[in-house]
Structure 1
């Protein structure tokens, strides 16, 4: 028990000494110039950070997100093909694929998929 107490007190003493040395040796200032400026890849910002972004790029991103969710829905259906009722499986697959095709057609007609406008 005495060895354990002695080891704990030595560890605590050594930790306090190291923290004190760190605070004495540390040359960093709390309010450094780089910490006070906005982060922009290490460069000083030259323009406003509130520039408008392309809605076309946003819509393409949403399109990819929708098709990622579609993959999450369809892949388990392929695995469950052996154990489920065939009529129910076909109706569910058909419904999901038709909703996706109608959405793709709607986006195509509205010009969301075209990169160059």
Structure 2
């Protein structure tokens, strides 16, 4: 019980000292109206109405997110191949076929054509 209490006190002391050290060494931030506003790009968010948003850009961003998530889904497949190579190969092949069909569907509907 005594050693757990000592470890807790030591941990809290180290945490507190690191927090205080970071506050002392951190760069002081100048309080600026533009820096403290929610949008730092120079637009006034209060006076302007919503600017029309390009639907092509939105669709391209969604497509990028889908294909980015695809990489995260395919990452564990090499580890799965250590256990059952046939099942992991079938899972990977079916996933890539579905993804390729989706890509061809988007291409056919001109979702990837930026000029339109």
By how many angstroms is 1:43 displaced?
4.6
Change over 3 Å in CA distance of 1:66–1:90 after alignment to 2:
same
**Distance of 1:93 and 1:42 partners within structure 2:** 42
Scaled by the length of structure 1, the TM-score of the pair is 0.59
Q: What is residue 102 of structure 1 aligned with on the other side?
A: 101
| TM-score normalised by the chain length of structure 2 | 0.59
Give the secondary-structure state (helix, strand or coil) at the position aligned to 1:111. Answer: coil
1:71 Cα deviation after fit? 0.4
What is the 5 A alignment of 1:15-30? none
Name the structure 1 match of 2:111: 112
Residues 73, 42 of structure 1: alpha-carbon distance in 2 compared, 3 angstrom cutoff? closer
The superposition leaves residues 19-75 of structure 1 with CA deviations (integer Å, 9 ceiling, x where unpaired) of xxxxxxxxxxxxxxx59xx76547563973311100000000001100111001101
Q: Once superposed, which parts of structure 1, at least 4 consecutive aligned residues long, lie more than 4 Å away?
A: none
Q: Which has the larger radius of gyration?
A: 1
| Structure possessing the higher relative contact order (Cα contacts under 8 Å, 6 or more residues apart) | 1
SS of residue matched to 1:98 = helix
